[in-house]
Chain A
Amino acid sequence: MANVFAFVETRGTDVRKVGLEAVTAARMLAEKSGGGEVHALLLGPPGIAAKAAQVGQYGADTVIVVEHAGLANYSPEVATATAADRIKSGDYRAAVFSTSAQGRDLAPRVAARLGVSVVTDVLSFEIEGDSIVVRHPMNIGKVIATIAIGAKPAIIAMRPNVIAPVQNAKAGRVENAQPSIDPATARVKVIETRQGGGGKLDLAEAPVVIAGGRGLKAAENFKLVEDLASAFGNAAVGATRAVTDDGWRPHSDQIGQTGRLVSPELYIAVGISGAVQHLAGMRTSKTIVAVNKDKDAPIFKVADYGIVGDVFEVIPALTAAVREAKKHH
């Protein structure tokens, strides 16, 4: 039996889905080690304390709430110091983070401060004796490594979307705490967080991803992709590297080897040929649909369902059909 620490990622006063996934993963690790407690750290500006109950619902026995007016934006130094101090004092078997932009920044800092190693982009985990054994994609997902972590605590960062957050209500005892350092004294300061399009679902979290490529011919034709995404209602819009290099879409929308990795339930590739660099970012999607006018495009080799045809005819028809199907639900 051993306790497990979870870092709950927030943005402003919202808990992000990856934060609940980390709590769920920590719960699973605690159960696998014979039923320990999960202690979750929830760090944010005034108002974040109201989210402690939600974190308890997903399996935290204790929610350590650190509320501070200086935490309206992510503070890497405050988060590192506070998480590391808490982990050090708690004799944890493992500490779970998220492989998000914030988690990729935070988990290695915390691990280094604790003098232990870290594995990011974790797909699954098991406890084997004194080791926690994880699976981790290498070589842009073309190789899967099984890695044994001997260090204690084992620090892992879960890949988003591989563990569904599961409600498993625990006490969710709230313990109020102070940040380990005063946010005003941090050397690195996030002075602004600029939100992209209001309420837009994130690529890594969306159950459906619609991505557009050069086959759309011009930036304004991404409206076709956006319309299809809005027909689904739970879809995010992505793009290929060619498209982001041309400035049709921001770099943050790029799916691929050097961009975002996504593994949604459904991935629809619109006018995308399927370059290796792109496939690296989406090949683990559960169902892949491709629409492309070139029947020999490599995307059709990985697509579960393909339509050979003009995206300007097929996508509006698909959008209408999806709207119709959603109506009957």
Chain B
Amino acid sequence: MKIAVCVKRVPDMDVRFRIGADNVSVDEAGLKFDINDFDAWAVEAALKLKDKNAGSEVTVISLGPDVVQETIRKALSMGADRGIHLKAEKVPFDGLAIAKALSAELKTGGYDLILFGKMSPDSSNGVVGPMAAELLGLPCVTAISSLEIADGKGTAKRELEGAQEIVEFPLPAVLTVDEGLNAARLPSLKGIMAAKKKPLEAKPAQLAEPQVTVRKLELPPERKAGRVVGEGAAAVPELVRLLQTEAKVL
């Protein structure tokens, strides 16, 4: 099988963000970056399929500035075979522009399966995978939490609100990966050494003019400081009174 996985370099979310001087981006000073969790799960899903299907090849593609090569190398150190870096000064918010640039590359690869994470936490838009599928004219299943592939056909499960869908699809196809599909393996030392020698091709991304533009970023209003009503079951009557009279939710 030929499998492509599109990955994004994203900041660690466990911080207090500051807005940059331009007002339309986050100040990156001091932020730690790594591969998006959902994308790492997508890489893992590809590697599992490679393990089962001898002769498979996993290609990792990332769009962005030169530092995204670190993210590609991470996926290579997990076991992917080769990387493609689509060079762009920055990653735009516009999901269609990203999907166009990725699909221009993907359509030349003859892939049986193209995997994405279901979303990235930084832009939190979650549209690139299904948009790329549409541009490529390929069958697409989003946010999958289980996957079986046999005889050129796939079956996947999607989590809905209070329900699940079981979905069948033919290959080639585009899938986006949700949490629950699998955990991601950690790169081994051997994998890290091997990744340094794996091919990584860089070429300019074909980014279209964006149709949506970020005008400003703001920090949300702080929640007012919490208050402890009391201790133990004895505090329940006071809590109920506050829920009725102050919060008016009971």
Contacts and interface: CB of A to CB of B under 8 A. Distances in A.
B161 A204 contact: yes
B250 interface: yes
Given A251-B159, A289-B243, A276 B127 contact: no
Given A109-B133, A309-B233, A202 B95 contact: no
Contacts of A193: 160, 163-166
A238 to B, nearest CB: 12
Nearest to B141: A188
B236 interface: yes
Contacts of B152: none
Contact of A138 (B124, B127, B133, B226): B124
A196 to B, nearest CB: 5
Given A108-B134, A188-B168, A307-B228, A325 B250 contact: yes
A188 to B, nearest CB: 5
Interface stretch (B45-53, B77-85, B205-213): B205-213
B227 interface: yes
Given A11-B163, A187-B170, A133 B215 contact: yes
Interface in A59-111: 73-74, 76-77, 80, 100-102, 104-105, 107-109, 111
A6 B6 CA distance: 31
A276 B13 contact: yes
Contact of A107 (B14, B127, B129): B127
Interface stretch (A29-37, A169-177, A279-287): A279-287
A112 interface: yes
Contact of A147 (B142, B215, B229, B230): B215
Contacts of A121: 124-126
- Highest count of chain B CB atoms <10 Å: which of A112, A208, A244, A307: A112
A40 B166 CA distance: 27
B184 interface: no
Given A111-B127, A257-B13, A101 B26 contact: no
A139 interface: yes
A191 B125 contact: no
A257 B121 contact: yes
A306 B235 CA distance: 9
Tier of interface size on chain B: 35 or more
Given A101-B143, A104-B143, A112 B250 contact: no
- Highest count of chain A CB atoms <10 Å: which of B124, B131, B229: B124
Interface stretch (B104-112, B188-196, B216-224): B216-224
Interface of A: 11, 73-74, 76-77, 80, 100-102, 104-105, 107-109, 111-113, 115-121, 133, 136-151, 187-197, 200-205, 208, 244, 250-252, 254, 257-259, 265-266, 276-277, 280, 283-284, 286-290, 295, 300-310, 313-314, 316-318, 321-322, 325-326
11 contacts: A76-B140, A101-B158, A112-B134, A117-B95, A117-B211, A138-B217, A150-B211, A205-B161, A266-B243, A308-B232, A318-B240
Given A11-B160, A189-B168, A266-B243, 17 more contacts: A74-B165, A80-B134, A100-B161, A101-B159, A104-B127, A105-B143, A139-B124, A143-B220, A145-B215, A188-B140, A203-B162, A250-B159, A251-B178, A258-B179, A288-B223, A317-B233, A322-B240
The 4 closest A-B pairs by CB, nearest first: A112-B134, A108-B127, A251-B180, A309-B232
Interface of B: 11, 13-14, 16-17, 19, 26, 37-38, 93-97, 99, 118, 121-135, 139-143, 145, 158-170, 173, 178-180, 210-220, 223-233, 235-237, 239-240, 242-244, 247, 249-250
